[in-house]
Structure 1
Amino acid sequence: MAPYESDDSTSAGEVDDLGTGRRKAARYVVPVAVVGVAAATIGLVPALADSGDPNLPKISAEQLIEKIAKSDVQQMSGTVKITTDLGLPDLGGLENSLVSGATKGSGSGDGTSADPTAKLTELASGTHTLRVAADGPDRQKLSLLENAAEYSLIHNGKDVWGYDSQSNEVYHSTAPDSASAKKRHEEPPATPDQLAKDALKAADDTTSITVQGTAQVAGRDAYRLVIKPKDAGSTVGQITVAVDAKTGLPLKFTLTPASGGAAVIDAGFTRISFSKPAASTFDFKVPKGAKVTEDKQSDHKSAPLEGLKGDDKTGGTEKKGKPGEDHAKGPDGLNVLGKGWDSIATFDTGGKGVPSGSGAGGDFGGFLDSLGDKVTGKFGSGTIFKTRLINALITDNGKVYVGAVTKDALVKAANAG
């Protein structure tokens, strides 16, 4: 047997024993592209060792997941590189305008460029470099480095600050002052740790999880945990997580699509230290002349860093359906059809579907047609908009079906609906 092979199989009892650890390992929330495609019951197959990589002791998938769950790194700093490639068309900056328009006025920052609600959506495309630091549950800092500018999000005690150096704008909010909030780790969004824990969040029998060799990430020895959907209907090929052999902290997260090619999401540390960051790292003083926007909901239930993660008690919004139903009733009329990797979210817009070139006026309808594929079925007709991970069907009567599933799976769901 290879040094890192695992021929263990997971029984129903073992799955129950791992439940608590998996729930702890999933206490963070990650970018929406990953939400809903994660795993919960473990299916193990033999794993292979990568020649030339660190020679580490044998470990099973269950043991590695438990190691992630027990990871309790509270002090660290480092640099993370994240690349997201959903295969969206180049709209010449239009997509950024749409995002800004959607978040302006609806977020707590009233459209300020320092509001993290809008700023951190930039991570949904392209390649970005982040500097991250943490010193326990009350002090975290994330800096997004772009060209000559920098955006920083700082949590220090009761204060949460967002600062955009390009516009010289400041956002200020108050962190929740509760015992439960202080007990939870408040890590910045889009780190490999969060992405990995979300991918282990909710397991079912549609998933296979194996240990496949070792790797070195940011100078650290790591195991490679590979998560794959068993069914062919998902657009997800596999998720690979490099887990620090010593601390159990996920160091790198890579999601590759079933269609092949470059990763859809590739986030990993390029530098990491587990030394205590200097206290001055989390200090913030409003720069001279900066415009300061106070969060109108500062006495709210959650602050920006707090709101970027959830747990079994506070973070979830999903509402379970009645026993025997094949969907869960979500907020605002959202239904979730199926389970696991093949889950499809559906809702009714209450209006018409996507305007076509013949009836939209001007060239706008034709432009939308060029981005999607027209389809027909028992449901009538509609348009499918595709990315390398998430696909959406909008029917002509205003119903929406969306998920990390194939075009055929969306049409089948619409026909059944």
Structure 2
Amino acid sequence: MPFIVNTDRDRDEMLRSIGAASFDDLIPDIPEEVRLKRSLDLFPALSEPEVMKLLEGLSSVNRSAAGYVSFLGGGAYDHFIPSAIKSIVSRSEFYTAYTPYQAEVSQGTLQAIYEYQSMMCRLYGMDVANASMYDGATALAEAVLMAMNITGREQVVIAGKLNPYAESVLKTYLEASGSGAIVRNQLNDGTGNIDGLRLLVSDRTAAIVVQQPNFYGCLEDVDAIGAAARECGALFIVSADPVSLGTLEAPGNYGADIAVGEGQPLGNHQNFGGPYLGIFTVSQAYVRKIPGRLVGMTRDRDGNDGFILTLQTREQHIRREKATSNICTNQALCALQAAVYLSLLGKQGISEVAGQCAVKAHYLADRIASIPGYSMKFTTPFFREFAVETPVPASGVISAMLDEGIFAGYDLSLVGESGLLVAVTEKRTRAELDRFVTLLGRL
């Protein structure tokens, strides 16, 4: 977006047009004590070549997956992104479109969102999907609020190992809503203890939440967890990695009432942590409680297919007290990238990606476990990610590997645990995996 220069004369004219004497008249509600009373501490003005040189210098300090071999995971993954995606989503009708409020001039955008919703329903095995949300963490938090609204209960039980950052977002949501209590189940070998879970749930439980695969990459016993939810009348919420569904059972097939996920692995770059998109799907019984936007197909008076926003339960469309959510965007461009990605790969392609992730991850895990001093943190089956106990602190492994052009993984000490969380995507080659093992053995 180009920078539009406003002169002092322009600003004075705009203020006169709205009946304000000064800029301060526009911010009377901001307390005086928090207003900046001095000039901004900016460095001297630079010429364009100087600015370019400065920015290029700052950029060169960054290390990215484009130049490093990445084994980073924990919620964001270095998957291959077909070049066709950038070409398609860069078209002006997609790239510059804001929001499809006027259906008559937004048919292309609405159709793209409808196609995305349809793909998410097929991938997750659910009846209805919305037009996406901010990210996987907020989608999960919205799912819990939705479950509390439906059941009239205020307790949520986390069945296994949930991504700690997603749990932090959930905690923030519940604190802001003024209700809700989070109860965590005990873990056994990296996954939730089913016997312990049954003791935690009650007629106060609004939802049981499980991440599949979980934060460690381990596979939870989702059938038993779903059964525990049904026994106490709670909703069963599954946060499922979309790539894993190319080989694992879809949440709808094992009884999920709400299934959410982080859509970043579907054709979206890691982008320094965002923007991403939150996948949100539900069973038909709860379609009128779903937050965010929903695009439907209809027919116009001439009998032609058309697309519209439907069941508009956002706070912008109805009375605020009746809204199901105050989510105000749906990350449509990221959702479009996910739809293009799935369209390019197809059912066979997503299965191939998932299969390669699983096979390569297990190959690397076996090789690492054979190195003296290294061991698997858990014996539970896993998908694309696994935790390793290391002979030196994980931070030391990560630092040493940076010098070799490798992002070694996620340091679990950041969440108060020991070990290194290693993720393997379809991008990793046999040579890269073997070199990683060789270098680990030299530490």
The TM-score range, normalised by the shorter chain, is under 0.3
Q: Please identify the structure whose Cα radius of gyration is greater.
A: 2
Structure 2 length-normalised TM? 0.23
**Higher fraction of helix:** 2
**Higher fraction of strand:** 1
